[in-house]
Structure 1
């Protein structure tokens, strides 16, 4: 039973490291793309369009005008 509780105690640290690892690997590729001047404009436009689409969808879903 103590082995079970030791595993439960380790779970938050594991979950935190998985989440941080996900964001680091995701943003690393984006930062590598931003180093090139031509791709910097394309990536920033894509991010702005994606963000605006998400905002529009959430406004319609929540009924905010």
Structure 2
């Protein structure tokens, strides 16, 4: 259950992290490390989700 929650929220983290970095670059405000952290965590979850799904499909479809 927890994995599916992060799989759904990860694209939003990537999108909002990119949006925040653009706004920070334009306005010169602080907070860039937090936007970078959102990008890293979002991409990490998307990568883990993709690898987990690929592994699952290989084992499920490979057994047929």
Normalised by the size of structure 2, how large is the TM-score?
0.48
Normalised by the size of structure 1, how large is the TM-score?
0.47
Task: Choose 1 or 2 for highest CA Rg.
Answer: 1
